[in-house]
């Protein structure tokens, strides 16, 4: 069975084609910097890797480019769209409607569309990916794997907001959390690496979107994002934690419309608002040249992460490991160093030399004296989505 997995992020598109159930990767690729003139396209098969820059201004055009290469007579790995049996889609927000992997129907798409107001940077490209895939692979089963599923184990004391009860019981306003597929995958890998039956772990997913999860014995118990992906850490274009009264001030005093406030906090804040850049690679490059705004933004980002490490260590009543993952978590040695500095009180000591190594797979970057393991675990949301998509039709 051939399973195509599409992961449409806020500014990127990851894809992998698997032969299941043996989990062989037939091809994979990434398009990042969607919306920029210099978007990067990578298409990798077992025989070759193709890289180039191009202008890709939408997820729809990105998906069409991927399909062209999948079917290309010289480079492609499938002969016709019928070769694809299942297309698995990462969908960020399932709200209270979805807590499990589900086959996509019109009703499912309508609910994903309805929930777009809660995940404006993700649910729309997720839905666009679904609809384009339906056209290109009309005979394949389309499956949605929701980011919120792994975080359903978070207890009421953590997911309930301190507002009148009817907002939860009647309107399902609560913490949902996101990046659940990634947190589930890397936490399982980390637990296997540690070889412990009982574990207390903090997973730190850093990319254009950023989140952290407190995980006890393989179950999530708290998470940095909330009702929507806007909450928590400083992100590429999202503010993260902010005093709600600022919203009222923007509306009443500065005369912002609510729609403009939503755009401001989701698309014009975070690292972009602080520096003028949303891509951390650009920010690190400018910081190395002495740009004070970029340098401060990096330190602010790390400071926010430290606060969550401290609070989650308290919630877990101890800590066996912190896990870095995601595009930034896996690749930015500078951010890992900033985050781990001055945390010796919690038993966290990073080895500067190990931190610079870019070896593949899981690696530990803590000192021998560190009481807490510091792990870098490459995420593979696509494999997790493929496995869940196949399992859906076994039951």
Which residue range(s) make up the domain with 30?
A: 2-146
Give the Cα separation of 112 and 131 in Å (integer): 12
Domain assignment of residue 123, yes or no: yes
Q: Do 142 and 219 lie in a common domain? A: no
The answer to whether position 367 is within a domain reads: yes
Q: Is residue 188 part of a domain?
A: no
Q: Work out the burial of residue 359: count CB atoms within 10 Å of its CB; fewer than 13 is exposed, 13-18 middle, 19 or more buried.
A: exposed
Residue 269 within any structural domain of the chain: yes
Query: Do residues 112 and 80 lie in contact, with contact meaning Cβ atoms separated by under 8 Å?
Result: no
Give the Cβ contact number of residue 135 at 10 Å: 11
Spatial strand order of the sheet with 12-19 comes to 49-56, 36-45, 24-32, 12-19, 2-8, 86-91, 141-146, 102-103
Contact indicator for 104, 89 with CB cutoff of 8 Å: yes
Please tell me whether residues 213 and 72 are part of one structural domain.
no
pLDDT one digit per residue (tens) for the chain, 395 residues: 999 999 887 788 889 999 999 999 999 999 988 888 888 999 999 888 999 988 887 888 888 899 888 888 777 788 888 999 999 999 988 987 888 899 999 999 999 999 988 888 789 989 988 998 999 899 999 999 998 989 989 999 999 999 999 999 998 899 999 999 999 999 999 999 999 989 999 999 999 999 999 999 999 999 999 998 899 999 999 999 999 999 999 999 999 999 999 999 999 999 999 999 999 999 999 999 999 999 999 999 999 999 999 999 999 999 999 999 999 999 999 999 999 999 999 999 999 999 998 878 899 999 999 999 999 999 988 899 999 999 998 75
Q: Which tokens go with 57? A: 């201004």
The pLDDT value recorded for residue 375 is 98
Same domain membership, residue 140 and residue 28:
yes
Look up the pTM and report it: 0.84
Burial class (CB in 10 A: 0-12, 13-18, 19+), 166: exposed
pLDDT at position 100 is: 87
**Rounded distance between C-alpha atoms, residue 152 and residue 206, angstroms:** 21
Q: Which residues pair with 325 in a beta bridge?
A: 205
For residues 39 and 134, state if they share a domain.
Answer: yes
- Looking at residue 100, the DSSP 8-state letter turns out to be S
Single out the catalytic residue among 147, 222, 231, 320. 147
In a domain, 179, yes or no: no
* Contact status, residue 302 vs residue 204, Cβ threshold 8 Å: no
Inside any domain, residue 155: no
What is the CATH classification number for the domain harbouring 111? 3.30.420.40
pLDDT at 348: 98
Return the pLDDT at 213.
98
Instruction: Give the total number of structural domains in the chain.
Output: 2
- Regarding whether 123 and 31 lie in a shared domain, the answer is yes
147 given a catalytic annotation: yes
Pair (203, 343) in one structural domain: yes
In a domain, 203, yes or no: yes
The pLDDT assigned to 91 comes to 93
For residue 287, what are the contacts with CB-CB under 8 A and spacing of at least 6? 294, 295, 298
- Report the alpha-carbon distance of residue 343 to residue 153 in Å, rounded: 28
Is the domain of 119 the same as that of 212?
no
């Amino acid at each position: 069975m051939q399973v195509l997995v599409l992961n449409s992020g806020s500014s990127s598109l990851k894809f992998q084609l698997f032969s299941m159930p043996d989990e062989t990767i037939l091809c994979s690729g990434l398009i990042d910097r969607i919306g920029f003139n210099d978007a990067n396209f990578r298409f990798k098969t077992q025989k070759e890797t193709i890289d180039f820059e191009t202008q890709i201004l939408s997820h729809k055009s990105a998906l069409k480019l991927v399909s062209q290469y999948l079917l290309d007579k010289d480079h492609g790995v499938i002969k016709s769209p019928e070769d694809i049996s299942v297309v698995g889609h990462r969908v960020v927000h399932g709200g209270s409607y979805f807590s499990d992997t589900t086959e996509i129907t019109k009703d499912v798409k309508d609910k994903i569309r309805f929930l777009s107001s809660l995940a404006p940077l993700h649910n729309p490209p997720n839905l666009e990916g679904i609809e384009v895939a339906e056209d290109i692979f009309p005979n394949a089963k389309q499956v949605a794997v929701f980011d919120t599923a792994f975080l359903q184990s978070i207890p009421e004391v953590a997911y309930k907001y301190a507002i009148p009860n009817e907002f939860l019981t009647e309107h399902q306003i609560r913490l949902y959390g996101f990046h659940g597929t990634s947190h589930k995958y890397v936490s399982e890998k980390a637990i296997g690496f540690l070889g412990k039956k009982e574990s207390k772990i903090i997973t730190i997913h850093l990319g254009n979107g950023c989140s952290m999860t407190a995980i006890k014995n393989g179950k999530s118990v708290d998470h940095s994002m909330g009702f929507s992906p806007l909450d928590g850490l400083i992100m590429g274009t999202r503010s993260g934690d902010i005093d709600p009264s600022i919203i009222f001030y923007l509306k009443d005093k500065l005369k912002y419309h609510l729609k403009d406030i939503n755009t401001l906090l989701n698309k014009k804040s975070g690292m972009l608002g602080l520096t003028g850049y949303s891509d951390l690679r650009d920010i690190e490059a400018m910081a190395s040249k002495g740009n004070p705004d970029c340098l401060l933004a990096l330190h602010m980002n790390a400071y926010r992460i430290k606060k969550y490490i401290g609070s989650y260590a308290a919630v877990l009543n101890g800590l066996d490991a912190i896990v870095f993952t995601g595009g930034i978590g896996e690749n930015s040695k500078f951010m890992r160093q900033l985050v781990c500095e001055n945390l010796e009180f919690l038993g966290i000591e990073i080895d500067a030399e190990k931190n610079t190594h870019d070896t593949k797979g899981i690696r530990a970057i803590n000192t021998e004296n560190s009481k807490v393991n510091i792990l870098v675990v490459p995420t593979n949301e696509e494999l997790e989505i493929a496995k869940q998509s196949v399992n859906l039709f076994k039951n």
